[in-house]
Amino acid sequence: MKNEYLIGVLETVKKRNPGEPEFIQAVTEVLETLEPVIDRRPDLVEAGVVDRLVEPERQIIFRVPWVDDNGKVQVNRGFRVQFNSAIGPYKGGIRLHPSVYIGIIKFLGFEQVFKNSLTTLPMGGGKGGSDFDPKGKSDGEVMRFCQSFMTELSKHIGADCDVPAGDIGTGAREVGYMFGQYKRIRNEFTGVLTGKGLTFGGSLARTEATGYGLCYFTAEMLKANGKSFEGKTVVISGSGNVAIYACQKATAMGAKVVAMSDSNGYVYDPNGIDLAAVKQLKEVERKRIREYAATHPTATYTEGCSGIWSIPCDIALPCATQNEINKESAELLVKNGCFCVSEGANMPSTPEAIEVYLQNGLLYGPAKAANAGGVATSGLEMSQNSERLSWTFEEVDAKLQDIMKSIFAACESAAKEYGMEGNYMAGANIAGFLKVAEAMKAQGCV
Ligand code: NDP
Ligand code: 2IT
């Protein structure tokens, strides 16, 4: 990076946010790709747009006390980072995972600003979460945690202010408990959360949206390069919400998904993953992926996560967590003939892995663009809540497909315009940035 302004902004970010490597990683990637834009736009420098963009508008950290099944008091830490509201109310998921700390929520919130801008819908960026681990907890414990979490969070959110949703560890069950508590405290039935149950304002196709959207985006990227999912071998990491519906859609588009994983290990089934079995294990029984091998003699289970990238495939869809593909894994993918990596998870590739993709001419679908279908459909849920109507599955799915196509088109044309044709990461960052930057400039120094 040579631009003095951007170098200065990045130095400040590093100084101000010590001990937050994921946040610094996310900011560095974006600033590096914005260089050609900033070189052409002194007006944005003068308006201090990037200095303001890297500092969250508001960060809330709070105590979440709850009582476990043994009557013992437990204390977790809750977070909500309201990153940017230039183009709409703050919008983004809630992550419940023991690894959560402020740096994770900030990196996710920062990414969300650009992603939401790309969706074409009016949504700002935010993210929240807690270091609470829903794994192994009873429904009663999860409910008491969610109620306590929302008791504080309800003071800071609202349908026109900040609209949370799911992320790792937060699915339909958790959103339901949080919605119930918000309604009880505020005495209002509004679309304050998305990903709600279908009986109380949820949108059809929201459950499927991130995984389906990932495949729609990837199919567009493949098509633009004379390729398709048809007959391709696909490896998908994770076996949660995003992974399951990516597997379903990739299979429907003619691919064979041969591997899936969780945080303990991965299953390889050369005959193609039996998705009904995975759904039963993960969505209904909340069990480990290793159980799959017990009932599927053609499948093998291996402990550890990173080994999944040693399985030969044409297309890799990382759908678990950040930094799950490092340089070595990326090199293995390339060596085994993989020609496309498209990201369902947020920031699943390390900067060194991305370097490997770009140097080897892989088709690379960056998370901000490729996984934006989830939040885009959350935006559609907000629209339905506002007009107090529900659209059919087909209507929502058709809108999702259109949105993913326009996101790909935006990435493709921005990359081309700024002299980086085929670099969809640069295209996503630039296209996402420009809309937010114009809005920030127009609204003055706020
Ligand atoms: P889920 O909780 O439904 O599933 C997460 C999956 O990833 C599980 O299989 C989980 O395994 C695995 N996983 C989680 N943490 C780790 C870890 N540290 N190491 C290895 N594996 C891990 O979450 P989602 O499917 O919703 O989210 C997956 C990714 O997609 C996340 O990066 C999320 O931010 C992103 N995303 C989600 C969207 C959504 O709408 N839900 C939208 C856009 C992006 P285990 O069960 O063992 O924990
Ligand atoms: O990372 C993401 O985009 C999400 N977890 C979904 C956020 C949302 O508001 O639907």
pLDDT tens by residue, 133-187: 999 999 999 999 999 999 999 999 999 999 999 999 999 999 999 999 999 999 9
228 and 109 assigned to the same domain: no
In a domain, 405, yes or no: no
34 and 170 assigned to the same domain: no
Torsions phi, psi of 312, nearest 5?
A: -60, 135
- What separation in Å is there between the alpha carbon of 48 and the centre of ligand 2? 28
- What separation in Å is there between the alpha carbon of 379 and the centre of ligand 2? 10
In a domain, 381, yes or no: no
Cα(92)–Cα(116) distance, integer angstroms: 9
Residue 352 CA to its chain's centroid (Å)? 20
Does ligand 1 lie within 6 Å of residue 305's CB atom? yes
219 and 366 assigned to the same domain: yes
- 91, 137, 242: which to mutate for ligand 1, most atoms within 8 A of CB? 242
- Read off the pLDDT band of 253 (50, 70, 90): very high
- What separation in Å is there between the alpha carbon of 174 and the centre of ligand 2? 14
Average pLDDT over every residue of 281-285: 95
- 108, 111, 133, 168: which to mutate for ligand 1, most atoms within 8 A of CB? 168
> Given phi > 0 = left and psi -120 to 50 = alpha, else beta, which region is 229?
alpha
Counting from 1 in the atom list of ligand 1, the atom nearest the Cα of 347 is 32
- CB neighbourhood size of 246 (10 A): 30
In a domain, 386, yes or no: no
What are the residues whose beta carbons fall under 8 Å from the beta carbon of 27, sequence distance 6 or more?
Answer: 10, 13, 54, 110
- Of the chain, the percentage scoring pLDDT greater than 70 comes to 100
Residue 239, domain extent = 208-370
Q: Side by side, which strands form the sheet with 265-268?
A: 300-303, 265-268, 256-261, 233-237, 315-318, 340-342, 363-365
Alpha carbon nearest to ligand 2 atom 4, residue = 93
Nearest CA to 224 out of 317, 376, 340, 314 is that of 340
Number of domains in the chain: 3
Does ligand 1 lie within 6 Å of residue 346's CB atom? yes
Counting from 1 in the atom list of ligand 2, the atom nearest the Cα of 92 is 9
Does ligand 1 lie within 6 Å of residue 241's CB atom? yes
- What separation in Å is there between the alpha carbon of 1 and the centre of ligand 1? 32
Active site residues: 127
Counting from 1 in the atom list of ligand 2, the atom nearest the Cα of 115 is 3
Size of the chain in residues: 446
In a domain, 287, yes or no: yes
Cα(267)–Cα(236) distance, integer angstroms: 10
86 and 154 assigned to the same domain: yes
Cα(190)–Cα(201) distance, integer angstroms: 9
**Location of structure tokens 């819908």:** 121
pTM of the model: 0.98
Hey, which bits of 110-247 come out as E strands? Answer: 125-130, 162-165, 233-237
Q: Average pLDDT of the chain?
A: 98
Cα(250)–Cα(108) distance, integer angstroms: 26
> Given phi > 0 = left and psi -120 to 50 = alpha, else beta, which region is 392?
beta
- Of the chain, the percentage scoring pLDDT greater than 90 comes to 100
In a domain, 377, yes or no: no
Alpha carbon nearest to ligand 1 atom 11, residue = 262
270 and 289 assigned to the same domain: yes
**Residue 146 maps to which CATH number?**
3.40.50.10860
29 and 12 assigned to the same domain: yes
Angle at 360 between CA 354 and CA 362, to 5 degrees: 70
**Residue 343 maps to which CATH number?**
3.40.50.720
Alpha carbon nearest to ligand 1 atom 40, residue = 374
pLDDT tens by residue, 339-380: 999 999 999 999 999 999 999 999 999 999 999 999 999 999
Alpha carbon nearest to ligand 1 atom 7, residue = 320
324 and 250 assigned to the same domain: yes
Contact 30, 36 (CB under 8 A): no
* 361, containing H or E segment: none
**Location of structure tokens 């919605």:** 179
In a domain, 399, yes or no: no
Cα(202)–Cα(156) distance, integer angstroms: 22
Does ligand 1 lie within 6 Å of residue 194's CB atom? no
Contact 143, 108 (CB under 8 A): no
SS3 state of residue 365: strand
70 and 30 assigned to the same domain: no
218 and 340 assigned to the same domain: yes
Does ligand 1 lie within 6 Å of residue 376's CB atom? no
Does ligand 1 lie within 6 Å of residue 238's CB atom? yes
HSE of 193 in the Cβ direction (CA atoms, 13 Å)? 29
SS3 state of residue 267: strand
73 and 156 assigned to the same domain: yes
pLDDT tens by residue, 238-248: 999 999 999 99
Q: What's the one-letter identity of residue 446? A: V
In a domain, 376, yes or no: no
Burial label for 228, CB within 10 Å (0-12, 13-18, 19+), is: middle
**What pLDDT, on a 0 to 100 scale, did the predictor assign at position 431?**
98
Counting from 1 in the atom list of ligand 2, the atom nearest the Cα of 116 is 3
Alpha carbon nearest to ligand 1 atom 33, residue = 345
- What separation in Å is there between the alpha carbon of 372 and the centre of ligand 2? 8
**What pLDDT, on a 0 to 100 scale, did the predictor assign at position 270?**
97
In a domain, 401, yes or no: no
Alpha carbon nearest to ligand 2 atom 9, residue = 92
353 and 246 assigned to the same domain: yes
249 and 221 assigned to the same domain: yes
